[in-house]
């Protein structure tokens, strides 16, 4: 072991200081998503307070992970290849739970993603619920619907959805998405 | 009419539709990997049951009570639950009274809110039950 291995300890310190309950990095498939969901379910059960918030965190986490998976699934269906690396963390402090996800995105998809989130953020809670009813009863969309997932996350978190696109090169960026959920 | 009983898994809810016992219940967690594959037989069964009720001239004075007891369902499942509730609404409008009993864990206000959102989309009366 040498100084080059210090990064492990640094990661540990950062995770400890940020109360990270779960961190995952790598490719995400449905099996891994299930494993992460099961792990968080058990961790949240250990916390005896605020069961209402625990269920909320759980529900939002499922939607966030499925959204990452869906993003890559759509890319595959378009016969486009992108780096499948994803990152997901769940952490907390005395006021909030934080769910942060990251994945690669094609630059030509950024405006769609940005517009989708900005549209939801611009609405008050009644507007979000109205939009939810429209999406959930839209029979033209048969399967997974990111619009519906995003508005569901926004309603349950009752907070502004935050995001950032960090340019990687001329074709791709890294898309970071964060949800805050009030503890009490 | 043949009952429809599907046992629950970690990803899918239990479906228990037994017309002979007047039991109609969906319970558990719903985030199937293939949501369509899971819910299509359920929706088909409800369509067939409506035809069965029509054919047997179900009495308007009777009432069907469907119980929803979810721990969690993801947004994709919500789309299929909307379809199921819409089908029940059609039975109510065309055949006989239908009522939905929506159960939720006492602290889980989000689950109650979800039921309230569904209730706004149909004419079926919803009754809400908090479970400790």
Say if A56 is an interface residue toward chain B (CB within 8 Å): yes
pLDDT in tens, A49-102: 667 788 899 999 999 998 888 877 777 777 888 888 999 999 988 899 999 999
Strand order in the sheet with A162-167: A20-26, A86-92, A96-106, A172-182, A162-167
pLDDT in tens, A20-54: 989 999 998 888 988 999 888 888 777 766 677 88
Considering only residues A138 and A73, tell me which one the structure prediction assigns the higher pLDDT: A138
Tell me if B107 and A136 make a contact (CB, 8 A cut-off): no
Tell me if B117 and A129 make a contact (CB, 8 A cut-off): yes
Say if A119 is an interface residue toward chain B (CB within 8 Å): no
Give residue B132's Cα distance to chain centre.
21
Say if B20 is an interface residue toward chain A (CB within 8 Å): no
Instruction: For residues B19-35, give the mean pLDDT.
Output: 94
Q: How far is A141 from chain B (nearest CA, A)?
A: 9
Instruction: For residues B38-52, give the mean pLDDT.
Output: 96
Instruction: For residues B108-119, give the mean pLDDT.
Output: 93
Considering only residues A67 and B38, tell me which one the structure prediction assigns the higher pLDDT: B38
pLDDT surpasses 80 at B59: no
* Partner-chain residue, chosen from B75, B76, B120, that has the shortest CB–CB distance to A133: B120
What chain B holds in terms of domains, given with CATH numbers, is 4-54+61-131 (3.30.750)
What chain A holds in terms of domains, given with CATH numbers, is 3-107+161-182 (3.30.565)
- Among the ranges given (A57-66, A99-108, A140-149), the one the predictor scored with the smallest mean pLDDT: A140-149
Q: How far is A132 from chain B (nearest CA, A)?
A: 9
Using a pLDDT cut of 70, give the percent of chain B over it: 97
Tell me if B107 and A59 make a contact (CB, 8 A cut-off): no
Question: In b/e form, how buried is each residue of B13-47, taking b as 16+ CB within 10 angstroms?
Answer: bebbbeeeeeebbbbbbbbbeebeebbeebeebbe
pLDDT in tens, A89-102: 999 888 999 999 99
Tokens in use for B47?
């369509």
Give B-chain residues touching A155 at CB under 8 angstroms: 113
């Amino acid at each position: 072991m040498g100084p080059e291995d210090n990064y492990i300890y640094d990661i540990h310190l950062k995770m400890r200081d940020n109360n990270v309950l779960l961190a995952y990095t790598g490719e995400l498939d449905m099996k891994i998503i299930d494993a992460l969901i099961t792990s968080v379910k058990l961790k949240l059960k250990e916390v005896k307070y605020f069961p209402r918030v625990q269920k909320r965190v759980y529900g939002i986490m499922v939607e966030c992970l499925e959204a990452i998976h869906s993003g890559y699934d759509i890319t595959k269906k378009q016969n486009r290849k992108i780096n499948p690396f994803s990152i997901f963390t769940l952490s907390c402090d005395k006021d909030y739970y934080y769910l942060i996800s990251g994945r690669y995105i094609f630059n030509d998809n950024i405006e769609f993603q940005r517009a989708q989130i900005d549209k939801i953020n611009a609405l008050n809670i009644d507007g979000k619920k109205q939009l939810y009813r429209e999406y959930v009863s839209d029979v033209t969309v048969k399967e997974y619907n990111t619009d519906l997932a995003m508005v569901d996350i926004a309603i349950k978190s009752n907070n502004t959805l935050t995001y950032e696109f960090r340019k990687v090169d001329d074709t791709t960026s890294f898309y970071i998405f964060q949800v805050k959920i009030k503890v009490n | 009419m043949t009952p429809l009983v599907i046992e629950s898994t970690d990803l899918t809810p239990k479906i228990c539709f037994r017309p002979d016992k007047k039991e109609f219940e969906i319970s558990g967690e719903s985030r199937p990997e293939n949501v369509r594959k899971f819910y299509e037989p359920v929706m088909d069964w409800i369509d067939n049951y409506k035809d069965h009720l029509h054919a047997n001239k179900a009495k308007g004075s009777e009432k069907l009570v469907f119980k929803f007891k979810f721990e969690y369902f993801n947004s994709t499942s919500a789309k299929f639950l909307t379809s199921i509730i819409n089908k029940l609404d059609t039975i109510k409008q065309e055949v006989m009274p239908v009522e939905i009993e929506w159960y939720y864990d006492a602290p889980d206000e989000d689950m109650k809110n979800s039921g309230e959102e569904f209730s706004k989309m149909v004419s079926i009366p919803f009754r809400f039950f908090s479970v400790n």
